[in-house]
Every structure is written in structure tokens, then in C-alpha cells.
Amino acid sequence: MVHIKIRDIAVSHGYYISNQIKNRKIISEKIKGNIVVEEAAANKRSASKYNWQNTIMLSLDAIQELFFKSNLSGADMDMIVLSSQLPEYVAPATSVKIHNVIGGKKECICYDVNSNGCGMTMAFDQISKYMSVSPHINRALLVGCDYMNLDKNNLGDAACAIILEKTEEDCGVCDTLSLVGMDDNDSNQFPNYGFSNLFMIKKGTNLRFSMAVKKPNGMKSVEDSISTILSRNGLAKEDVNMYCFSQNNKMGLESIREILHIDKAISPYIGDIYGDTGTSSTFITLYEAWEKQLIKRGDYFLMCAFGRGAQTITLLCKF
């Protein structure tokens, strides 16, 4: 039976590279195998630290580290997917821009996805299912990156890149449960007036998100989704070795631990290090757990991601 394995994970933490990225180099291998070194700052517009960062730059920084770890290149990828709430470009897709820089091959699927904080977790599930039934897609690059350019309310600019590949090992996504909130969510939308009115807006502040600190809510749905997904797979909470939650609310995570009786050691909070990195937060949590040897191959892990209070996705996986 075909399974989809997380081969490697790498992270770029925007806060730390903001003043250094102008000295970094993006290494890409073209299809013929020639290594091309491109100055990251070749097209810089000013010396402002924010101009050194965007969704593409952060993603490329994580991808570069990932390729060094895995000894692979862009030409080895059959699919490239970017999950981002605010990709640098919508036309062409930012994943296509990334494909071209890293030397992706011509026969390659590229697309961008957005489901807010759920995006990368949901994309992992969808890519895994697609790869399992497609004979020609053997390896995929998935990148999650949110660059909000805002230094407040626990927001963190970062990128996480992972390589997914086919294997006969017993691993990958075991089950998925997605829940959509039925409450009014109009107060938490962006753009505030919709894209159809985007060019009519005169005042820049009208484009901003509402970034108020979120109160822990929807804990009952989180409890139900985790209990349901474990029950239908014949597992108990103790059978899961690592819980990777969205990092948007420390108080909310503490409530989940209390309600579900989950130990702090297997449900890390990394928001004090990275901030809330949005779409990539569950995978950066997994990355940190792997780096610290808190999870090993064959372990069960559970991802639970929250999307702007409007949806929740829970994945039961085997590492």
C-alpha cells in the first residue's frame, strides 16, 4: 500500500533573517543540474528591513535549508504547493514564482492555497490523497508562509517547507476531520470591504485585519473533533505521542490541555519563540518536536489547526 511520508522539514524564522537576508544567497538547481547562485537582494528597492522580507523570500530561505538537508533540488519535485493568507502575487501564482527560482521541472503541478490558519494542514491532507492515487506524482514540496508585516499581537513572520514522498512505510495521514463554524464571522474578515471594492478604498487603514487578541472559544468543537477522530481509529489520547496545535492563543491552548487532560510536554506552545505564524504553525510545532527528539518515526501525532475562528481541521497522522 502506498503511503505519503514527511521526509524532511525546514523553517525560516522571519524575525531572525530580517537583518541578514541581504547577505544570504538563494541556491537553485536548474533542470540540467547546473547550480545557479542568485543574490537574494538583487532587486531590492530600499534598505528597510521589511523590504528584505516577503512571502517569496521567506519561503526560499526555508526551501534552501530543506534542500541542503535532503540533498534534493527543485528538479526533483513533481508538485509545488504554497499555503499563504497573503501570497506575494496572485497572478501568476506565487508557487510558480518559487518553482522558477528553485529550478523546477516543466512537468510539475503548482498552485497556491488559502484557508487561513488551516491552510498548510489542509494542504498536507489534500496533497497526500492526491499523491496516493496519482502514479506520476512521487514527491511534493509544500510550503506554508504568512508574512503580515505587523509587529504586534503575537504575529510571527515565518516559513515552513516540507518534502512529501511516496513510501511503503506505515506512515502519513490516517484520518481527517474538518469542522466549519456556523456563527457570524463578518467581523473578522479581510479585506474589510471585499476585493470587489479594493481599488475604491482611499484610506490604507481600512485594509487591515482586526488583530485583537483572541479569546479562547470553540473549545467544545476541538474536544469533539479530537475525541471523534481518535474513537473512530480505536485510539486513546495516550496513544498519541505529539499534539501540534495552532499557536495563535496561549490561553486557548492551555484550556485545551485542561479539558482533554493532555500533558504540556506533548502539546508544546512555541508562540513565545516564533509568535503566531499562521498557516505554518502546526508544522513548525512538529519541526521543533522533531529537532528536540520528542517524536520519532512510527509515532502517532495529531494536528489541530484553527482558521480565523471560522473552521477547524484535525489530522491524525503517523510520523
Report in angstroms the alpha-carbon separations of 97 from 24, 42, 142, 223, 236: 19, 15, 14, 39, 43
What does the pLDDT read at residue 142? 98
What does the pLDDT read at residue 138? 96
Instruction: Delineate the domains of the chain, giving CATH numbers in brackets.
Output: 3-169 (3.40.47.10), 176-183+192-318 (3.40.47.10)
H/E element, 143: strand 139-146
Whole-structure pTM value: 0.83
From CA 2, how far away is CA 170, in angstroms rounded?
9
pLDDT of residue 67 exceeding 90 = yes
pLDDT band of residue 275 (cuts 50, 70, 90) is confident
Nearest to 18 by CA among 52, 57, 41: 52
Alpha-carbon Rg for the chain, nearest whole angstrom, is: 19
Report strand pairing: 172-180 vs 311-318.
Answer: antiparallel
pLDDT of residue 207 exceeding 50 = yes
> What's the average model confidence in pLDDT over 163-176?
95
From CA 288, how far away is CA 204, in angstroms rounded?
37
Nearest to 267 by CA among 235, 289, 251, 239: 289
What does the pLDDT read at residue 278? 87
In terms of average pLDDT, the best of 6-10, 202-206, 257-261 is 6-10
First to last CA, the chain: 16
Give the tens place of pLDDT for each residue, 70-119.
Answer: 999 999 999 999 999 888 888 899 999 999 999 999 999 999 999 888 89
> What's the average model confidence in pLDDT over 160-187?
86
